[in-house]
Amino acid sequence: MGDTLSDQHAVAARLYRERGFQHRVGYGTRPALLNIDLARAGTRKGSPFECENVDEMLVHVARLLEAARAKGIPVVYTTTGYEKDLKDAEPWIRKIPALAMLQLDSELCQIDERVAPRPGEIVLPKKMASAFAGTHLASMLCALRVDTVIVTGTTASACVRHTVEDAISLGFRPIVPREAIGDRIPGAVEANLFDIDAKFGDVEPVEAVHRYLRELAPFTR
Amino acid sequence: MGDTLSDQHAVAARLYRERGFQHRVGYGTRPALLNIDLARAGTRKGSPFECENVDEMLVHVARLLEAARAKGIPVVYTTTGYEKDLKDAEPWIRKIPALAMLQLDSELCQIDERVAPRPGEIVLPKKMASAFAGTHLASMLCALRVDTVIVTGTTASACVRHTVEDAISLGFRPIVPREAIGDRIPGAVEANLFDIDAKFGDVEPVEAVHRYLRELAPFTR
Amino acid sequence: MGDTLSDQHAVAARLYRERGFQHRVGYGTRPALLNIDLARAGTRKGSPFECENVDEMLVHVARLLEAARAKGIPVVYTTTGYEKDLKDAEPWIRKIPALAMLQLDSELCQIDERVAPRPGEIVLPKKMASAFAGTHLASMLCALRVDTVIVTGTTASACVRHTVEDAISLGFRPIVPREAIGDRIPGAVEANLFDIDAKFGDVEPVEAVHRYLRELAPFTR
Amino acid sequence: MGDTLSDQHAVAARLYRERGFQHRVGYGTRPALLNIDLARAGTRKGSPFECENVDEMLVHVARLLEAARAKGIPVVYTTTGYEKDLKDAEPWIRKIPALAMLQLDSELCQIDERVAPRPGEIVLPKKMASAFAGTHLASMLCALRVDTVIVTGTTASACVRHTVEDAISLGFRPIVPREAIGDRIPGAVEANLFDIDAKFGDVEPVEAVHRYLRELAPFTR
């Protein structure tokens, strides 16, 4: 294949639009902010889980966090972590043996201090890629009558993507602020956000999401 | 970005291997065959859901079907379809208005006759991308003590990928026979199978999967 | 044990109230009406699934249906039914071999004509007791931003109870109109509604639920 | 109603047997032991969650634990507990305000020392009644190819019952050792185990379950 990714995406986007894909799922009125796997495993230099462009990504997440907190919308973080004997990592750990480093009480599983959770914000431990897999996230969002999930974090090709796919399957509208998403593989953010925008959620400039939050009425319980 | 997809994948594969990703999840001993969305919507010329290289893909699926049936392993098909008023398509239909064509009783939702289900093989209607989302598939496979799911069908960038991600999250080992997967977008099969093989399931030549089925002991209930 | 069920419930209710159980979950503002297994299997004379006091129960359900339709709230029916080879009934069918009679296309699985669904009302086939188990019900209610589920039907000791337990676990407020619930076993309605009211949902006189629906604003999409 | 519970159950059992209910789901070959909510909240005198006959129940659980550990079968405990702000307790806490006492890091949420978990045994925090609701339990059991769940603990009318109902819905065979189940309400154990045995799982003398474990081949990973 001699085409660049950008060439392919231009062809694909035309095809999608002609066929009735890639429309806007749209913003609802009761969002939650889901920060996926912004733990030190992905944000520290030299970790096997280290992502590209972390510093810049975290600036964008921090800005969204500030806007979300100003409106009192639910803020949830996830972190992937396991018990000592890794019984809860099967069978994923066969595919990714590096998961063995993610012991639940280790420093690698703590959220990066630049986007640290505040009291009352939930840090959800999870075992699999999606924030919804094996967690009470869907029930909690449903009980809070959330209709929209703004998803930030890492990685585009695994945890973020699976979370977005699950979110729309479970009845929520996913919004993905482009600059607030990371990955450890060159091109993975671009490739996966293209698929997400075509089929699962709206990929938006972080500025547009920030504006939405600024204009939103405060979240009532 | 001037790199081709192949260049990027070569870099990424090296990085993944160094860091402890992209290992083999491996074959188990009790597989099921999941044929995702091989309905006429995707296999007929001129449908908005039409995929590339359908004829060749179906030859490979048919060959796997024959081997699976010879061993009595569970065979499941999915088809995406909705009620007349599309209430069960929300909010996905906002993203993909073309879904409105997929009326449950329409011809578009019937499995292609070249890989037609036999009596006793389950055709599972679904509403979302993953075969597990809002269906009794996981419970049924668990009751049958299935440990491995061989996933064929369309599309690589949506229903197949989400099904594979869910499968490993739910405790099954996903195996993806490369030539038995389709998509409607150039490059989408390659890009998505790369991510799947790195993180979610083993992408294998169809010949290797066929050999596994030939050498397998008959499936006992 | 010489005590009657009523004696026991009086003791239990006092204990529950003293300890902080048996409060009101309360009505929300966006209800759905879930009619559980009002199929002919349970409403016809001589079926193994026949329930007590069916005629009276259906009068109450019909009255709630009328009020629900007047406000345009989502109406969902469930019916339990299986494929010919019963592969989808495992392992429940080991416990209840009578389930083998419930073939999906049989007359026994059709909703009783006295409370027949109208076009646009969803009849959800299910395999297990709960309306949420292996179905897209939770996603659909979440997408409709439903916060309250009014549950009618049969049986108190199985499908209704498990549906109510799941509903509150998934983030919805369950309301159970007492006279609209049936069972085939003497005392089972009383015993199970007692437990439900103590821990899972509000058991209310059907008249109170009817009044709630009359006073409700029309349901907006 | 002047009948005693026992009278009613005798009538009901006859009706159930005539109609094809109340059969045996049977023991499989790969069990797990699930100990539901044996935390101090339920086992300590004076707690609002205090159950009856705790001392005797824990002797039976301890004996099953010993037999399970001797065969290396997976042992899982659950404990119900919440974050400080109780956001994760909605809407259940409206029904049971006493849940507010169950702070995740409090002593009330720790497993009773008479049946304390050993290293490598998982203590699963949960938010709702069922051990499967919002947890990774089903995925973990599926990955371990468990086919049978032996359920002990409290309470018969809520967490144990909902766990058993979910277990069979998810494809597992539930076995309930009668003497290892507790509740805080007189009669609740008898009433709920009757329903469970009729429809959801096999209620067995603890001695029979112990014998099954003694005769079982060691659990292989």
Tens of pLDDT, residues B176-220: 999 999 999 889 999 999 999 999 999 999 999 999 999 999 999
Residue tagged 């075992």 (tokens): A127
Please report residues of D whose CB lies closer than 8 A to that of B139: 169-171
Contact present, B176 and B203 (Cβ < 8 Å): yes
Separation of alpha carbons A208 and B220, rounded Å = 56
Question: Which of A88, A162, A221 is the mutation pick for testing D, counting most D CBs within 10 A?
Answer: A88
Average pLDDT over residues C40-44: 94
Chain C: residue nearest D173 by CA?
C91
What percent helix, strand, coil does chain A show, rounded to 5?
A: 45, 20, 40
Is C5 a residue whose pLDDT tops 70? Answer: yes
Tell me the average pLDDT of chain C.
95
CATH topology of domain D25-215: Rossmann fold (3.40.50)
Tell me the average pLDDT of chain D.
95
ipTM of the complex, rounded to two decimals: 0.96
CATH topology of domain A28-215: Rossmann fold (3.40.50)
Cβ distance D171 to B139 less than 8 Å, yes or no, reads yes
What's the length of chain B? 221
**Neighbours of A (≥3 Cβ pairs closer than 8 A)?**
B, C, D
Report in angstroms the alpha-carbon separations of B82 from A166, B36, B130, B183, D57.
19, 16, 15, 21, 50
Cβ distance B171 to D138 less than 8 Å, yes or no, reads yes
- Band of the pLDDT at B147, cuts 50, 70, 90? very high
Name the residue with higher pLDDT: D7 or C69.
C69
Angle between helices D188-199 and C188-199 (to 10 degrees): 110
Angle between helices C188-199 and C159-169 (to 10 degrees): 10
Is B145 a residue whose pLDDT tops 60? Answer: yes
Q: Strands, E, within A128-221: which ranges?
A: 148-154, 173-177, 181-182, 202-204
Is A205 a residue whose pLDDT tops 50? Answer: yes
Average pLDDT over residues A157-162: 98
Domain boundaries, chain D: 25-215
**Neighbours of C (≥3 Cβ pairs closer than 8 A)?**
A, B, D
Please report residues of A whose CB lies closer than 8 A to that of B198: 157
Residue tagged 């400039």 (tokens): A205
pLDDT tens-place string over residues C50-77 = 999 999 999 999 999 999 999 999 999 9
Is C4 a residue whose pLDDT tops 80? Answer: no
pLDDT of D186: 84
Report in angstroms the alpha-carbon separations of C21 from B138, D41, D184.
34, 14, 12
Burial readout B60-94 (b: 16 or more C-beta within 10 A, e: otherwise): bbebbbebbeeeebbbbbbbbbbbeeebbbbbbbb
Is D120 a residue whose pLDDT tops 90? Answer: no
Contact present, B160 and B176 (Cβ < 8 Å): yes
What are the backbone angles phi and psi of residue B121, rounded to the nearest 5°? -95, 135
**Neighbours of B (≥3 Cβ pairs closer than 8 A)?**
A, C, D
User: Among residues C214, C149, C147, C154, which one has the least CA distance to residue C179?
Assistant: C154
pLDDT tens-place string over residues D145-189 = 999 999 999 999 999 999 999 999 999 999 999 999 999 988 999
Q: Based on DSSP, count helices (H) and strands (E) in chain D, helices before strands.
A: 8, 7
pLDDT of A1: 43
Please report residues of B whose CB lies closer than 8 A to that of A185: 8, 11-12, 15-16
Tokens of B102: 């997929």
Min distance C90 CA to chain B CA atoms (Å): 6
Burial readout C81-106 (b: 16 or more C-beta within 10 A, e: otherwise): bbbeeebbbbbbbbbbbbbebbeeee
Cβ distance B172 to A200 less than 8 Å, yes or no, reads no
Question: Which of B29, B132, B139 is the mutation pick for testing D, counting most D CBs within 10 A?
Answer: B139
Separation of alpha carbons B83 and B89, rounded Å = 8
**pTM for the full predicted model:** 0.96
Burial of D83 (0-12, 13-18, 19+ CB in 10 A): middle
Poorest-pLDDT segment among B80-84, C191-195, C211-215, D9-13: D9-13
pLDDT of B113: 97
User: Among residues D174, D183, D182, which one has the least CA distance to residue D209?
Assistant: D174
pLDDT of C1: 43
Please report residues of B whose CB lies closer than 8 A to that of C135: 134-136
Separation of alpha carbons B100 and B85, rounded Å = 9
Collapsed DSSP state (helix, strand, coil) of residue C98: helix
Cβ distance A136 to D136 less than 8 Å, yes or no, reads no
Contact present, B182 and B159 (Cβ < 8 Å): no
Cβ distance B139 to C144 less than 8 Å, yes or no, reads no
pLDDT of B118: 96
Q: Which of D83, D127, D136 sits opposite A134 (nearest CB)?
A: D136
Is A144 a residue whose pLDDT tops 80? Answer: yes
The residue type found at B78 is T
pLDDT of A6: 82
Q: Strands, E, within chain D: which ranges?
A: 31-36, 75-80, 122-126, 148-154, 173-177, 181-182, 202-204
Please report residues of A whose CB lies closer than 8 A to that of C145: 145, 147
Cβ distance D129 to C6 less than 8 Å, yes or no, reads no
pLDDT tens-place string over residues A75-84 = 999 999 999 9
Contact present, D74 and D141 (Cβ < 8 Å): yes
Separation of alpha carbons B203 and A207, rounded Å = 38
Contact present, B35 and B153 (Cβ < 8 Å): yes
- Band of the pLDDT at B17, cuts 50, 70, 90? confident
pLDDT of A29: 97
D contact set with B (CB within 8 A):
138-145, 147, 169-172
- Residue C159 is a catalytic residue: yes
User: Among residues A123, A175, A178, A124, which one has the least CA distance to residue A150?
Assistant: A175
Tokens of C53: 């006091």
Min distance C176 CA to chain A CA atoms (Å): 19
pLDDT of D3: 64
Largest distance between two CA atoms of chain C: 54
What are the backbone angles phi and psi of residue D120, rounded to the nearest 5°? 90, -10
User: Among residues C17, C150, A144, which one has the least CA distance to residue D95?
Assistant: C17
Min distance D85 CA to chain A CA atoms (Å): 6
User: Among residues D134, D184, D133, D131, which one has the least CA distance to residue D157?
Assistant: D184
- Band of the pLDDT at A3, cuts 50, 70, 90? low
**What residues pair up with C82 in beta bridges, in sequence order?**
C103
Min distance B113 CA to chain D CA atoms (Å): 32
pLDDT of B3: 64
Cβ distance D201 to C95 less than 8 Å, yes or no, reads yes
Chain A: residue nearest D130 by CA?
A136
Please report residues of D whose CB lies closer than 8 A to that of C173: 91, 94
Q: Which residues contact B1 (CB under 8 A, 6 or more apart)?
A: A4, A5, A6, A187, A190
pLDDT of D1: 43
Collapsed DSSP state (helix, strand, coil) of residue B176: strand
Separation of alpha carbons D50 and D38, rounded Å = 11
Please report residues of C whose CB lies closer than 8 A to that of B128: 136, 139
Cβ distance D169 to C130 less than 8 Å, yes or no, reads yes
Separation of alpha carbons D157 and C196, rounded Å = 9
pLDDT of B1: 43
Cβ distance D87 to A127 less than 8 Å, yes or no, reads no
What are the backbone angles phi and psi of residue A55, rounded to the nearest 5°? -60, -45
Tell me the average pLDDT of chain B.
95
Collapsed DSSP state (helix, strand, coil) of residue C41: helix
**What residues pair up with B177 in beta bridges, in sequence order?**
B204
pLDDT tens-place string over residues C179-212 = 999 999 889 999 999 999 999 999 999 999 999 9
**What sections of chain C are H helices per DSSP?**
5-19, 40-43, 54-71, 92-95, 137-143, 159-169, 188-199, 206-215
Cβ distance D90 to A119 less than 8 Å, yes or no, reads no
CATH of domain B5-215: 3.40.50.850
* Domain C28-80+109-215 class, CATH top level: alpha beta
Q: Which residues contact C85 (CB under 8 A, 6 or more apart)?
A: B119, B120
Contact present, B30 and B146 (Cβ < 8 Å): yes
Burial readout D188-216 (b: 16 or more C-beta within 10 A, e: otherwise): bbbbbbbbbbbbbbbbbebeebbebbeeb
Chain D: residue nearest A91 by CA?
D143
Burial of B218 (0-12, 13-18, 19+ CB in 10 A): exposed
